[in-house]
Amino acid sequence: MPATVTEKQVLGIWHDSLQGRLDLKTVDNEPVRVIYPGRPNDDRGPDFKDAIITTSRGQTKGDIEIHVKTSHWWTHQHHRDPAYNRVILHVVYQHDTAKTIALENGFTIPTLALRSYIGNNNSTSPIPCRGIGYRGDAKVISDRLDEAGETRFLMRAASYKKIIITLGLGQALYQGITTALGYSKNKEAMAELSRCMPLARLEAIASEETSDNEYLAQCQAHLMGAAGLLPSQRAGCCPAYNDMETWETKLESIWSTVSLVEAMSPHDWHFFKVRPSNYPVRRIAAMSHLLLRYRQKGLLAGLGDRFKEAADANETNSLEEALRVSPESYWGCYLDFGLPSLGAAPALLGKERVADIIVNVLLPFFYVRGLPEHGEGVLDIYRGYHASAENTLVKHMRQQLGITQYLVDTARRQQGLIHIYKTLCLEGKCDVCSLAKMTD
């Protein structure tokens, strides 16, 4: 090891060299064992997410923060940042202070100093399945991903069955789509919005004489207002001052007449490291356009008809078109209230998010609703549905296994990677993982 160690090198040691070792001890001489090192965090906060370790207090799951020196915890002000409250172990190269690591919430965590462990011969392979793509049979790997993807689909369908029993068909579908529009950072907030402003209320706010433009404004006002994201509800949000201002004024005016709805807090929403095209206001606007599109029959019946056509023809192009929403009117010029788009505004609901909604919401939902008539047809669509853009978990698992994007060429295989991660990796179950056993 060089005299000057970088944080990147310490990150590599944690990620590649410590899993399963029995000789590791914290600076307080407490035994610690790495079950799963976690996945690199590409967002704000700790360096690794979802790690699993065991200590004398048992097995613990959480985040890992890496530094060259122990004192960097305070230098970087992590003790004042709630984003680090899930950290379960502080991993450093050099322990340069006796001060105990404290989280913002007042809890303390152990520190593992690696300096004394580097260079000995006790290193083990961090994860049994790592790199099996370079050694294993591609056909066997792909078959196991297909099996895991099918299992995940059926589990999701079973969860929708319970949701439908509780909420009813229409609200269950609406809540599923709305939640999926939130991506990873705003899913919980979107789910809460669907409860605060249910489908039945949105579909009943206008009469047959109400114009489409008026109905769109009503839907946007109700959704934006309930979300707490109208300009008047957000500190520092400045409405535009031009001929488009009338749309903002219109939404504010409509919301001022809405009663019996407690608005969410703007602080419930995340904008940090969220691309403008994915801002929650744009996704909420997308939902209002879907409500307008299926206004005559309702969201459930309208999408149900389009889905039946796709299932009968075993094709998905028409289904994708049924969900895509182009940037229109105000949202064709603005990314957020008062934030003009410098170029062509992105779609309110584009092909990648549409694909995610089809795989995670529409297919399992209509599989449950359509059984037994269309159940097998829905599965056929799922089995052949194309892979979409990789999310963080899919990319992490593909790199962990050492397999190419070419092998993960369907949504089912992407879902299989996610299923393996959530049911095996996150549970530290390498001993029962069929992929790990391929190296035996």
Q: What is the pLDDT of residues 421-430, one digit of tens each?
A: 999 999 989 8
CB of 386 closer than 8 Å to CB of 415 = no
How much is the pTM?
0.88
Whether 18 and 24 have beta carbons less than 8 Å apart is answered as yes
Please give the share of the chain, as a percent, with pLDDT higher than 90.
70
SS3 (DSSP) at 198:
coil
d(CA 264, CA 268): 7
Residue-wise pLDDT tens digits, 170-229: 999 999 999 999 988 899 999 999 999 999 999 999 777 899 999 999 999 999 999 999
- pLDDT band for position 122 (cuts 50, 70, 90): low
Residue-level pLDDT at 436: 83
Q: In the prediction, which pLDDT does 209 show?
A: 87
pLDDT over 80 at 240, yes or no: no
Give 183's Cβ-side CA count (13 Å radius). 24
Lowest mean pLDDT among 156-160, 274-278, 358-362: 274-278
Cβ neighbours, 10 Å, residue 399: 14
Q: What is the mean pLDDT of the chain?
A: 90
Residue 288 to residue 301: CA distance in whole angstroms? 16
51 vs 338: which has the higher pLDDT = 51
pLDDT in tens, 300-330: 999 999 988 887 777 788 889 999 999 988 9
Q: Is 76 helix (H, G, I), strand (E, B) or coil?
A: coil
